[in-house]
Structure 1
Amino acid sequence: MANIDQAKYAALIRKYFDACNEADYDKLVSCFTPDAVHYFPSGLPDIPWRTADTIAKKWIWCVETLGSQWTIEKILVSHDSHEAVIEWTHWKSRVGTALRGDEWYVFDEKTGLIREIRAYYASPAQKEVPINELVDFDYEGRGYHLNAANAPAGAESK
């Protein structure tokens, strides 16, 4: 069985989300292996994002252009592999929308850094919908963030 430091991986994901919200290039790059890849569903230009440098620059662009902020809703770290899955909300204040989804993380066994992220959206991104999320899912009743302002950067709901 692999020796997995679940707390270390969860802390790295929180650091990554804080870095995204802060648009901090150096902090973002420090979360990834240099050759990291971030995969997305179809619909975005220039995907997947390859290299830590590209990932950092793209998220900074989102903060500066879309007013992006992210909240972590849930984190699950594997006990027997160097992987984790999270549920998040991507708030886009300048365009008045939000998107909910999940990401699957693969960590480098030697460095402990993020090597790969695979993003999955709760629904197709629809520009005419204020918050893209699952139909009839009780987000409020389950303690999910209902706007970006009610949680600090990288916060996790309880």
Structure 2
Amino acid sequence: MTELTHETMEQTMRDYFEACNAGDVEAVASYFTDDAVHYFPPGMYRGPFEGGRTIGERWSEAVETIGSVWTVDSVLTDPENAKAVMEWTHFKTKEGTVLRGDEWYEFDPETGLIREIRAYYAAPQSPDLDRHELGGFDYEGRGYPLEPPIERDSSL
């Protein structure tokens, strides 16, 4: 059993994103309960991802096909209620687009694993926009990443 603390919850979320950036299916799956679900806004990513392995496969596919790179921008945790929220940036390097949003996490208090993620986006994902961000928000001035922290080969 992993004790849920501010530190363990935040580290789990950061390690999960590191595994996503590596496109490592098994590593991603290891952060989830067997019945975990990752929800998205309507029409996104062919619906919810169900199960840790599926979550890992889908993010690995995103790394391969659209050059996904994610950053953790801000984290708040509530160990007493086994919940947390993370603000993130998703760079789709092969498309030249940026998507920002946040995710609400529910942890299993017995195992310390993630059992649910609910993703909310800063704006509807429009094919007409290169950057999906809050209008008028000073991302640069507040220290948010403006470029992906790692390079992806755009020729793939």
Q: Deviations over 1:103-128 (max 9, x none)?
A: 00000011000000000000001122
Letter in 2 for 1:59: W
What's 1:115 paired with? Answer: 115
> In 1, Cα distance between the equivalents of 2:45 and 2:148?
25
Provide the C-alpha distance between the structure 2 equivalents of 1:4 and 1:53, rounded to a whole number of angstroms.
23
Q: Which residue of 2 aligns with 1:85?
A: 85
Q: Aligned to 1:73, what secondary structure does the other structure show? A: strand
Bigger Cα displacement from structure 2, 43-52 vs 16-25? 43-52
1:48 — aligned with what? 48
In the TM superposition, what is the alpha-carbon distance from 1:46 to its structure 2 partner?
2.6
Letter in 2 for 1:108: D
Matched, 1:61 2:61: yes
Whichever residue aligns with residue 140 of structure 2, its letter is: E
Q: How far apart are 1:80 and its partner, in Å? A: 2.5
Partner of 2:75: 75
| Counterpart AA for 2:99 | L
Which SS does the other structure have where 2:43 is aligned? coil
What amino acid does structure 1 have at the position aligned with 2:142? R
Which letter maps to 1:141? G
Per-residue CA deviations over 1:81-112 (Å, capped at 9, x if unaligned) read 10100000000000110100000000001100
Runs ≥4 residues deviating over 2 A: none
Residue identity opposite 1:29 in structure 2: A
Q: 1:96 to 1:28 in 2, by over 3 A?
A: same
Matched residue type, 2:41: P
Counterpart of 2:154 in structure 1 is: none
Letter of the aligned partner of 1:132 in structure 2? H
- The aligned residue for residue 18 of structure 2 is 18
C-alpha displacement of 1:4? 3.9
Which segment is superposed worse, 111-120 or 126-135? Answer: 126-135
What amino acid is the match of 1:74? Answer: S
Q: Which amino acid aligns with 2:49?
A: W
Deviation digits for residues 60-84 of structure 1 (CA, Å, limit 9, x no counterpart): 0000000000001100111421010
Stretches of structure 1 that go unaligned for 5 or more consecutive residues are 154-158
Structure-2 change in CA distance of 1:86 and 1:98 (3 Å): same
Question: Separation in 1 of the partners of 2:45 and 2:69?
Answer: 20
Matched residues, number: 149
Q: How does 1:108-147 map to 2 (within 5 A)?
A: 108-147=108-147
Percent identity over the alignment?
A: 48
Counterpart position of 2:101: 101
Q: Decide whether the 8 Å contact of 1:4 with 1:81 is kept in 2.
A: no
